[in-house]
């Protein structure tokens, strides 16, 4: 454990930044600068943490007693997967702050504070190695998101924010019971919340079933998996652009991360039993969300349903539980964040110009702003899984991996690729081509410099992950080989 | 023990019951407070009876406390009563239902 | 069934009757007076049960302070109901209180002028007020302090409500006047 | 060798990137010169690569793409004579098309985007041609799909064209699902996706798996090469600019499916069922498409249906096991079909966007004889008139099909022959109606728009090739050296020998089919026939309606697949998602609201109820204490 508490600073730096923006909220310019400064510092810190997490030599961990009477320790650790997710959170954080410069005028101080607070809680979730600490950050991330949607959202924001909050809290409460259950399931003397200990001695199978069910429900609400997904479209349509980016890019990943890091290894026997259910939910999610996405008229709702479909792929990849599909699922987590984040940022820019999010109000964007149009087509193709861009790599890995164990499921999921293309082309068609809608204002500026410096790093990262994802896949090799043997029934 | 304790307790109980019924049934605020006084008094009787039965002075000490509480309570009660009377001009308890559901 | 037992049952009957009558009167004034009578009977009961100090306090606080306060309030508010009692019901109005009053006095007289030998019937007479006072201040000093706070709070509350009632007095329906 | 190949791939990609990023700032001539130079340089690189590695097969690794847990996909090149020749053909035709496009798109202002997509397309096509790893090949496979989507919908202002583009992309993606599943199956069974690896361990495949793989690859090829049942997108894809149709829908993309089957021929060869299926698709499509071509009036749609039919022949060639014949026809077809498309493009521009052949008449032939001559050369090759290349290449395929033996392949030969007659018929129908006699219907305007000279003269090499490409693989009885089959002999599966049926008889039969077709066309549409009977068939008659609409396949798909699919998605959104799932959660919310309303009524405001509940509570506590105490 090196002297400098890198992980704790990674978690609490955004919080400090949040306090700074609140204090500086008098002048918007100052608090914008403070927010951007913190976000960039966080990105820099995450970037230099990556090489440490990548090479197996150094162990990035922190461990301090917190509440000894219950065996709760302030334990953090960063391996390949959590390092990448923290880096992605920081990267999206910078983009979210940049896109909010022009969009947020009402109380920017508090807005940036909440944005950075979400980043703090997300990094906490990714780095926590103690079940109690994990649960703490898991619940904390709801609060800032609730305010981001509830205060700075669009016309129907309160209902959406409340719906989002209630869905997640319902899941969270069950998980709290399960956390306590898992703690109690340990023998009387050695009761601790540390993940390593809990994983080493899993509870009795019949107890595991209940605990896994509660954990899975909480993560299913957050991922979201089909039956409990209806909060996502409302939350996305009403959230401000940066809120949507953070919601899609970071919060959804905490659900997937929880499923891979906690639910499966903590309760191996129950997880092995649940694999058929996961496949059914994954496929149902893929087809249901894709069909619903095709029928949407609101651009943001369409992209929201598309992210439900992409996350369903992750569920299938995790359920297949082998080296290829698991690394594919983990890579998909990162790719989905970038492509969906890009789409949301673009839709934010277009709806700011056209005044509404309806597809009918877009149209002819390529004629009026070719640069924006090119970027939009680029992100649409990335989302459709065009080879050479990032989603293809993760989708191919996930489904080829799933094929080795479960050909039927993989075949059905492959067919889903056609559905994906249908709604992506509907989005591109409605937005880029055809003649500009009558309701569009005359003044329709092409990409401004600020927008360009948001979109180009995103496009560059998508292209990089599309052509050279090997560096990322090498980082994921460690976590994959660490997780697989934990469930002997699934891993031959 | 001049009278079996049960009789004293019976008396106290009946008095308490009458006080409770009065507080419930009557619609005039004054009568409700009177009912309240009767209930407190019934408690006092029970305490004295018990004190006599077990030869302990605690019972009687407690009666004093009951009276202290009763006095304070009735002072505020009547002040409230006058206040309500001033505001709404009637003593019917159903008039004061602004805190209704 | 000793003499005192008889007195106890007599007093119990008086209390029950007086309270029943008090709680069923239409006129507030009658109710209060009946209750005063009941409290007198209760005081005697306390004395009978060997609690002289509570008996005295019963008369001082309950009958004396609280019921008198009720009377003040009722008169202060000048509640009109029950005044137009016509003559023919006068007898029904007067008979019960006279009978109860007489019964209470008789019981009291018997109690006080009990034959000398009756002292032993009141073993509790030892619970003289002095002993009880010393006992209360010895064991329950905290309780006493608490009650004093309570009384002070009651005083403050009554004063406050009285004062704020004053401003509201102007809007009072029957122009009763600003008497505190 | 590696430098040559990476240059071959890098040049078009570099051209596309430069045009994409700086296209708007560069001047028009600069953009055109850059685009054409990139492709011509790529052509030279392809030629030198072919000369350098004559006859050998080399695996050249370029770039390690990604690998995770046993699965690995790397960008390597498997360079053998087949891919060498294909790369040369692709770059040669693309170069000519680029130069032609400079003229054709002279009026269009978004030229930068056009040339960027064209260069990008050539890059993806070369990836398909050269790729060794199937995932890398899939990169090219989907890339050409995207470029065809972008180029079909190039004039995006008109919503109709973008819908045609979307239709093309979705239908090819339906085919691509077969490709993805084939990749997964390859990885599951052989553990590798590299072509050389697969071919090396192909004997490890069971016949069942080989059949499954064969059918999946057939499904992918059917999607990309617009064969039955996924062919309705190609006729609509004519909405794009004509040079695009020439490049994508004649020479390169549609042949990608055939090329994939050739590359993986050893896998197909394992299962007779797969080969029979390929043959069936090829023969039926050839016949189906040639019939449909007869009913068309739009010059580009005739050529589109003709492309579908000719690609059907290539499928037939592969099914008959004659890889060399398939490749020979592919090359010949690429030359004469792109020539025909560009010729048609010149005619359309000359007659002010006139597409209907019954409104053309002899104006173009008299005004611009070179355009007619070029078009005529292409038509000769298409109709397989003896000296032209089409005669030898289609003859070779028909010969291979017949000599393959077995009732099924004889049936395929018969269908192929009937299609050959129809091909000659619709080709000369097109030539006679579009260039001879006066138009059956009055054209919008009579004047001819002058075309830039270089636009036409750049087509002469293609004209020459259309005529002389037969020399590539002259069959034995013409004392031919069969140059192509010698060149391809090292390619796995390309060394089949055919005998049993006399080659002379078959070639004479082919000439006969062509003559019959020509005669029928002369009788029906020749300049000598009475003008009244030369007009288009009466559109109402059922037969002609069926022909024009391609046997109503498009309407059938729209009715049985498209509308139910859209209805299902609407249903899923309204009824299932918002109706059932969302309503379930929201109704719980309403339930809680209603119970709290009920609870609110308890607070009646009357103090007596409060006291009563208070005393009831007290009584309950006493009862509990009593019960516990007792």
Please identify which residue in the block is written with the tokens 């509350």. C157
Q: What single DSSP character describes residue B4?
A: -
Contact: B75, C155; criterion CB under 8 Å: yes
How far is B17 from chain C, CA to nearest CA, in Å? 11
- On chain A, the residues whose CB falls within 8 A of the CB of D70 are 323-324
Residue burial D362-387, b: 16+ Cβ < 10 Å; e: rest: ebbbebbebbbbbbbbbbbbbbbbbe
Mean pLDDT of the D556-570 span: 90
Contact: B99, D600; criterion CB under 8 Å: no
Instruction: Please report, for chain C, the start and end positions of each structural domain, with discontinuous segments joined by +.
Output: 3-123, 140-180
Q: What single DSSP character describes residue D161?
A: H
pLDDT at D537: 66
Find the radius of gyration of the CA atoms of chain D: 31
pLDDT at C174: 47
- On chain D, the residues whose CB falls within 8 A of the CB of A468 are 65-66
- The answer to whether residue D89 scores a pLDDT higher than 90 is yes
pLDDT at A63: 87
Question: Tens digits of per-residue pLDDT, D357-406?
Answer: 888 878 888 888 899 999 999 999 999 888 888 888 888 888 888 888 78
- On chain B, the residues whose CB falls within 8 A of the CB of D600 are 101
Query: C12, C78, C82, C122: best mutation site toward chain B, by most B Cβ within 10 Å?
Result: C12
Contact: B101, D602; criterion CB under 8 Å: yes
Query: C15, C36, C44, C54: best mutation site toward chain B, by most B Cβ within 10 Å?
Result: C54
Contact: D606, B97; criterion CB under 8 Å: yes
Contact: A434, D162; criterion CB under 8 Å: yes
Contact: B64, C57; criterion CB under 8 Å: yes
Rounded to an integer, what distance in angstroms lies between the CA atom of residue D124 and that of residue D44? 18
- On chain B, the residues whose CB falls within 8 A of the CB of D607 are 32, 93, 96
How far is B83 from chain D, CA to nearest CA, in Å? 17
A415 contact D CB<8A: yes
Contact: D67, A473; criterion CB under 8 Å: yes
Question: Tens digits of per-residue pLDDT, A305-352?
Answer: 999 999 999 999 999 998 999 999 999 999 999 999 999 999 999 988
Quick check: A137 and A7 in contact, CB under 8 A?
no
From chain D residues 104-133, the ones with a CB under 8 A of any chain A CB are 113
| B99 or A160, greater pLDDT | A160
Choose the closest CB to A433 out of D153, D177, D576. Answer: D153
Mean pLDDT of the D12-41 span: 91
Q: Closest-CA residue in chain D for B32?
A: D608
Choose the closest CB to D604 out of B96, B98, B100. Answer: B100
Contact: A421, D71; criterion CB under 8 Å: no
In this complex, the chains that touch A, judged by 3 or more CB pairs closer than 8 A, are D
Question: Tens digits of per-residue pLDDT, C107-157?
Answer: 888 877 766 555 444 554 456 788 888 888 888 899 999 999 999 999 999
B54 contact C CB<8A: no
- On chain B, the residues whose CB falls within 8 A of the CB of D602 are 101
pLDDT at A455: 94
Confidence label for C170 from pLDDT (cuts 50, 70 and 90)? low
Quick check: A152 and A32 in contact, CB under 8 A?
no
Rounded to an integer, what distance in angstroms lies between the CA atom of residue B86 and that of residue B97? 16
Instruction: Please report, for chain B, the start and end positions of each structural domain, with discontinuous segments joined by +.
Output: 5-89
How far is C89 from chain B, CA to nearest CA, in Å? 23
Instruction: Give D171-193 as a 3 state SS string.
Output: HHHHHHHHHHHHHHHHHHHHCCC
Parallel, antiparallel or unpaired: strands D58-68 and A72-78: unpaired
- The answer to whether residue D183 scores a pLDDT higher than 60 is yes
Contact: B94, D602; criterion CB under 8 Å: no
Confidence label for D532 from pLDDT (cuts 50, 70 and 90)? low
Choose the closest CB to B57 out of C15, C28, C132. Answer: C132
From chain D residues 551-590, the ones with a CB under 8 A of any chain A CB are 566, 568-570, 572-574, 576-578, 581-582, 585, 589
pLDDT at C87: 56
pLDDT, averaged per 10 consecutive residues of chain A (492 residues), comes to 78 93 89 93 93 81 86 89 94 94 87 94 94 94 93 90 92 93 86 87 88 94 90 92 92 93 91 93 94 91 93 93 92 94 93 84 84 92 92 93 91 91 90 82 85 93 92 90 86 69
How far is B22 from chain C, CA to nearest CA, in Å? 6
Find the radius of gyration of the CA atoms of chain A: 21
CATH of domain C3-123: 1.20.120.1200
- On chain A, the residues whose CB falls within 8 A of the CB of D585 are 163, 167, 230
Question: Tens digits of per-residue pLDDT, D291-309?
Answer: 999 888 899 999 999 999 9
Confidence label for C1 from pLDDT (cuts 50, 70 and 90)? low
For A144, how many CA atoms within 13 A lie in the half-sphere containing its CB? 26
pLDDT at B27: 85
Question: Tens digits of per-residue pLDDT, D247-295?
Answer: 988 888 999 999 999 999 999 999 999 999 999 999 999 999 999 998 8
pLDDT at D354: 85
- The answer to whether residue D493 scores a pLDDT higher than 80 is no
Question: Tens digits of per-residue pLDDT, A102-115?
Answer: 888 888 899 999 99
Quick check: D242 and D183 in contact, CB under 8 A?
no
Q: How far apart are the first and last CA of chain A?
A: 35
Rounded to an integer, what distance in angstroms lies between the CA atom of residue C46 and that of residue B12? 12
Quick check: A308 and D581 in contact, CB under 8 A?
no
- The answer to whether residue C164 scores a pLDDT higher than 90 is no
Which CA distances in Å does D36 have to B39, C39, D9, D119? 108, 119, 15, 9
How far is B56 from chain D, CA to nearest CA, in Å? 23
Contact: B24, D611; criterion CB under 8 Å: yes
D598 contact B CB<8A: no
D596 contact B CB<8A: no
Query: D25, D68, D159, D160: best mutation site toward chain A, by most A Cβ within 10 Å?
Result: D68
Choose the closest CB to B57 out of C48, C127, C147. Answer: C127
Instruction: Give chain A as a 3 state SS string.
Output: CCCCCHHHHHHHHHHHHHHHHHHCCCCHHHHHHHHHHHHHHHHHHHHHHHHHHHCCCCCEEEEEEEEHHHCEEEEEEECHHHHHHHHHHHHHHHHHHHHHHHHCCCCHHHHHHHHHHHHHHHHHHHHECEHHHHHHHHHHCHHHHHHHHHHHCCCCHHHHHHHHHHHHHHHHHHHHHHHHHHHHHCCCCCCCCEHHHHHHCCCCHHHHHHHHHHHHHHHHHHCCCHHHCCHHHHHHHHCCHHHHHHHHHHHHHHHHHHHHHHHHHHCHHHHHHHHHHHHHHHHHHHHHHHHHHHCCCEHHHHHHHHHHHHHHHHHHHHHHCCHHHHHHHHHHHHHHHHHHHHHHHHHHHHHHHHCCCEHHHCCCHHHHCHHHHHHHHHHHHHHHCCCCCHHHHHHHHHHHHHHHHCHHHHHHHHHHHHHHHHHHHHHHHHHHCCCCCCCCCCCCCCCCHHHHHHHHHHHHHHHHHHHCCHHHHHHHHHHHHHHHHHCCCCCC
Question: Tens digits of per-residue pLDDT, B41-92?
Answer: 999 999 999 988 888 888 888 999 999 999 999 999 999 888 888 888 888 8
pLDDT at D225: 92
Give the right CATH number for B5-89 from 1.10.287.3510, 1.10.10.10, 2.30.40.10, 2.102.10.10: 1.10.287.3510
Q: Cβ atoms within 10 A of the Cβ of D55, count?
A: 14
Contact: B44, C74; criterion CB under 8 Å: no
Please identify which residue in the block is written with the tokens 């943490």. A49
């Amino acid at each position: 454990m090196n002297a400098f508490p890198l992980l704790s600073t990674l978690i609490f730096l955004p919080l400090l930044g949040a306090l700074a923006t609140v204090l500086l909220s008098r002048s918007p310019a100052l608090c914008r600068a403070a927010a951007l400064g913190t976000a960039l510092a966080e990105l820099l810190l995450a970037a230099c943490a990556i090489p440490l997490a990548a090479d197996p030599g150094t162990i990035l961990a922190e461990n301090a007693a917190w509440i000894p009477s219950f065996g709760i320790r302030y334990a953090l650790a960063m391996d390949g997967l959590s390092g990448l997710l923290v880096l992605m959170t920081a990267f999206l954080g910078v983009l979210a702050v940049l896109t909010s410069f022009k969009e947020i005028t009402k109380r920017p101080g508090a807005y940036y504070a909440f944005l950075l607070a979400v980043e703090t809680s997300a990094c906490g979730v990714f780095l926590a190695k103690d079940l109690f600490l994990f649960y703490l950050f898991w619940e904390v991330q709801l609060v800032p998101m609730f305010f981001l949607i509830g205060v700075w959202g669009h016309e129907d924001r309160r209902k959406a924010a409340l719906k989002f909050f209630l869905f997640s809290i319902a899941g969270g409460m069950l998980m709290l019971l399960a956390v306590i259950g898992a703690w109690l399931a340990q023998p009387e003397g050695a009761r601790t919340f540390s993940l390593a200990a809990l994983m080493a001695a899993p509870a009795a199978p019949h107890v595991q079933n209940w605990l896994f069910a509660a954990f899975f429900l909480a993560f299913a609400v957050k991922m979201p998996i089909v039956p409990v997904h209806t909060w996502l479209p409302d939350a996305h349509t009403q959230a401000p652009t940066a809120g949507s980016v953070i919601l899609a890019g970071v919060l959804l990943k905490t659900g997937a991360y929880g499923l891979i890091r906690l639910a499966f290894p903590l309760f191996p026997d129950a997880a092995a039993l649940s694999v058929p259910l996961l496949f059914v939910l994954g496929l149902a999610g893929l087809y249901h969300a894709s069909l619903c996405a095709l029928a949407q008229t609101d651009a943001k709702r369409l992209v929201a349903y598309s992210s439900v479909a992409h996350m369903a792929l992750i569920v299938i990849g995790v359920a297949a539980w082998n080296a290829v599909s698991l690394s594919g699922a983990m890579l998909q987590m990162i790719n989905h964040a970038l492509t969906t984040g890009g789409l949301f940022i673009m839709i934010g820019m277009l709806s700011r110009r056209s005044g509404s999010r309806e597809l009918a109000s877009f149209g002819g964007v390529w004629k009026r702003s070719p640069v924006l149009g090119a970027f939009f087509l680029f992100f649409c193709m990335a989302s459709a899984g065009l080879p050479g861009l990032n989603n293809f790599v993760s989708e191919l890995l996930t489904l080829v991996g799933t094929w080795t164990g479960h050909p039927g499921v993989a075949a059905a999921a492959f067919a889903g690729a056609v559905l994906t293309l249908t709604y992506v082309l509907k989005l591109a068609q409605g937005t880029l081509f055809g003649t500009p809608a009558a309701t569009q204002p005359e003044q329709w500026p092409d990409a401004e410099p600020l927008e360009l410096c948001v979109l180009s790093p995103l496009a560059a990262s998508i292209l990089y992950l599309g052509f050279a994802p090997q560096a990322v896949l090498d980082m994921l090799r460690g976590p994959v080989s660490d997780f697989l043997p934990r469930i002997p029934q699934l891993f031959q | 023990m001049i009278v079996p304790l049960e009789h004293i307790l019976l008396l106290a109980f009946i008095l308490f019951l009458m006080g409770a019924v009065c507080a419930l049934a009557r619609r005039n605020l004054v009568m409700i407070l009177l009912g309240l006084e009767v209930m407190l008094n019934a408690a006092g009787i029970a305490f004295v009876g018990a004190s006599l039965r077990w030869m302990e002075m605690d019972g009687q000490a407690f009666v004093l406390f009951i009276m202290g509480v009763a006095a304070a309570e009735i002072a505020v009660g009547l002040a409230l009563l006058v206040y309500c009377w001033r505001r709404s001009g009637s003593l019917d308890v159903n008039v004061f239902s602004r805190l209704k559901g | 069934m000793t003499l005192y037992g008889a007195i106890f049952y007599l007093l119990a009957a008086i209390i029950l009757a007086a309270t029943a009558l008090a709680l069923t009167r239409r006129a507030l004034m009658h109710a209060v007076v009946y209750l005063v009578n009941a409290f007198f009977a209760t005081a005697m009961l306390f004395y009978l049960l060997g609690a002289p100090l509570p008996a005295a306090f019963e008369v001082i606080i309950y009958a004396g302070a609280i019921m008198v306060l009720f009377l003040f309030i009722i008169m202060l508010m000048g509640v009109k109901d029950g005044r137009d009692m016509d003559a023919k019901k006068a007898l029904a109005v007067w008979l019960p209180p006279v009978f109860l009053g007489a019964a209470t006095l008789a019981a009291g007289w018997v109690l006080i002028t009990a034959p000398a030998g009756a002292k032993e019937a009141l073993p509790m007479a030892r619970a003289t007020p002095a002993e009880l006072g010393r006992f209360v201040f010895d064991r329950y000093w905290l309780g006493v302090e608490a009650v004093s706070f309570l009384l002070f709070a009651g005083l403050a509350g009554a004063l406050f409500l009285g004062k704020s009632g004053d401003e509201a007095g102007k809007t009072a329906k029957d122009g009763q006047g600003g008497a505190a | 060798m590696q430098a040559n190949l990476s240059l071959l791939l890098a040049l078009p990609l570099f051209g596309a990137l430069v045009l994409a990023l700086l296209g708007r700032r560069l001047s028009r001539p600069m953009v055109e010169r850059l685009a054409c130079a990139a492709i011509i340089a790529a052509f030279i690189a392809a030629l030198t690569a072919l000369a350098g590695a004559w006859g050998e097969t080399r695996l050249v690794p370029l770039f390690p793409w990604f690998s995770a847990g046993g699965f690995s996909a790397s960008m390597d090149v498997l360079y053998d004579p087949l891919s060498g020749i294909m790369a040369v053909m692709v770059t040669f035709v693309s170069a000519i098309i680029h130069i032609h496009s400079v003229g054709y798109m002279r009026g269009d202002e978004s030229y930068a985007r056009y040339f960027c997509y064209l260069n990008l397309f050539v890059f993806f096509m070369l990836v398909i041609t050269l790729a060794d790893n199937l995932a890398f090949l899939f990169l090219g496979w989907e890339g050409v799909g995207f470029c065809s989507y972008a180029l079909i919908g190039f004039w995006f202002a008109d919503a109709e064209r973008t819908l045609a583009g979307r239709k093309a992309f979705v239908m090819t993606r339906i085919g691509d699902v077969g490709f993805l599943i084939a990749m997964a199956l390859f990885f599951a069974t052989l553990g590798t996706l590299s072509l050389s690896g697969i071919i090396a361990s192909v004997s490890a495949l069971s016949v069942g798996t080989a059949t499954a793989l064969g059918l999946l690859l057939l499904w992918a090829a059917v999607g990309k090469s617009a064969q039955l049942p996924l062919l309705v997108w190609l006729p609509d894809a004519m909405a794009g600019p004509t040079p695009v149709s020439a490049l994508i829908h004649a020479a390169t993309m549609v042949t990608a499916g055939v090329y994939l089957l050739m590359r993986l021929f050893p896998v197909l060869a394992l299962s007779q069922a797969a080969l029979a299926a390929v043959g069936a698709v090829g023969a039926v499509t050839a016949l189906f498409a040639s019939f449909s071509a007869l009913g068309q009036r739009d010059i580009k749609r005739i050529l589109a249906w003709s492309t579908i039919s000719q690609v059907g022949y290539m499928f037939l060639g592969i099914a008959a096991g004659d890889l060399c014949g398939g490749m020979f026809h592919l090359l010949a077809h690429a030359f004469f079909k792109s020539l025909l498309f560009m010729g048609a493009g010149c005619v359309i521009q000359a007659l002010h966007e006139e597409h209907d052949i019954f409104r053309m008449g002899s104006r173009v032939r008299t005004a611009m004889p070179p355009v007619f001559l070029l078009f005529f050369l292409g038509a000769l090759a298409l109709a397989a008139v003896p000296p032209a290349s089409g005669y030898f290449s289609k003859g070779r395929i028909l010969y291979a099909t017949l000599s393959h033996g077995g009732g099924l392949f004889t049936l395929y030969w018969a269908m192929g022959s009937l299609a050959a007659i129809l091909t000659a018929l619709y080709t000369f129908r097109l030539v006679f109606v579009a260039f001879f006699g006066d138009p059956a219907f009055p054209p919008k305007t009579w004047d001819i728009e002058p075309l830039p000279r270089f636009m036409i003269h750049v087509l002469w090499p293609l004209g020459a090739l259309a005529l002389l490409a037969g020399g590539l693989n002259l069959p034995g009885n013409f004392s031919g050296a069969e140059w192509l089959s010698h060149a391809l002999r090292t390619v796995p599966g390309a060394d089949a020998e055919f005998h049993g049926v006399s080659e002379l008889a078959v070639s004479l039969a082919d000439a006969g089919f062509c003559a019959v077709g020509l005669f029928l066309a002369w009788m029906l549409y020749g300049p000598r026939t009475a003008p009244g009977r030369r007009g288009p068939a009466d559109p109402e008659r059922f037969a002609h309606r069926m022909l024009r609409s391609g046997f109503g396949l498009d309407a059938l798909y729209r009715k049985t697949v498209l509308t139910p699919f859209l209805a299902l998605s609407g249903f899923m959104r309204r009824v299932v998602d918002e109706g059932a799932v969302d309503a379930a959660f929201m109704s719980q919310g309403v339930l809680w609201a209603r119970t709290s309303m009920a609870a609110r009524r308890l607070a009646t405001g009357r103090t007596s109820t409060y006291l009563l509940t208070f005393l009831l509570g007290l009584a309950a506590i006493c009862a509990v204490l009593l019960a516990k105490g007792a």
